[in-house]
């Protein structure tokens, strides 16, 4: 449930941000609430406005990992399906991000008809995030989840791992 130093969990919306301290954080506008659990981080977006959950820290250069066909691999447990786009990506400073829309994958995995939530592995190649706009040389947030829609999920794990199979990129953000 806690990131490894020097990484920290930050929440942001419309220029306002807060850090996960003591296992809980909530944006002042209520758009996003996060709590650390034994099984990861539980996050709830209320749908009032766009908000981002980010794992952030000092900028790192992921060029070697990108050229080596590595991928951002996250395992999410969806409690409430999103009603709109959910972006998974990386941040690289002010106005620098590469992201892919994973809302379709989350809707498919959401509990329906009494079915329990299940872990959903999602893998996005670093090359896809670079193509979507991330400056891979200056990644300060190797994991960003952004939603404007109501959504409830748990982040079970997040790692970099070798990409498998032919590289396919999820849909880029819609402008």
pLDDT in tens, 35-83: 998 888 999 999 999 999 999 999 999 999 999 999 999 999 999 889 8
Q: What is the pLDDT of residue 132?
A: 93
> For a pLDDT cut of 70, what percent of the chain falls above it?
94
Helices (H), the chain: 63-67, 103-109, 126-131
Burial class (CB in 10 A: 0-12, 13-18, 19+), 84: middle
Is the pLDDT at 156 greater than 80? The verdict is yes
Predicted local confidence at residue 135, as pLDDT:
97
Alpha-carbon gap, residue 112 to 12, rounded angstroms = 30
- pTM of structure: 0.91
Residue 12: closest CA among 56, 51, 49, 58: 51
Residue-level pLDDT at 54: 96
> pLDDT per residue over 121-153, tens digit each?
999 999 999 999 999 999 999 999 999 999 999
Residue whose token pair is 């409430």: 80
What is the structure's pLDDT at 13?
95
pLDDT of residue 5: 80
Q: What percent of the chain has pLDDT over 90?
A: 69
């Amino acid at each position: 449930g806690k990131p490894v130093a020097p990484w920290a969990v930050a929440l942001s919306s419309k220029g306002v941000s807060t850090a996960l301290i003591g296992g809980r954080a909530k944006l002042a506008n209520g758009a996003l609430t996060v709590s650390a659990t034994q099984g990861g981080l539980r996050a709830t977006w209320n749908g009032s406005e766009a908000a981002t959950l980010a794992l952030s820290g000092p900028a790192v250069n992921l060029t070697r990992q990108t050229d080596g066909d590595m991928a951002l691999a996250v395992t999410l447990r969806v409690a409430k399906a999103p009603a709109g786009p959910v972006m998974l990506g990386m941040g690289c400073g002010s106005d620098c991000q590469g992201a892919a829309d994973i809302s379709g994958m989350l809707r498919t995995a959401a509990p329906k008809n009494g079915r329990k939530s299940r872990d959903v592995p999602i893998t996005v190649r670093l090359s896809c995030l670079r193509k979507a706009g991330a400056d891979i040389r200056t990644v300060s947030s190797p994991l960003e989840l952004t939603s404007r829609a109501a959504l409830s999920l748990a982040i079970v794990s997040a790692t970099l791992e070798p990409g498998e199979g032919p590289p396919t990129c999820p849909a880029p953000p819609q402008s």
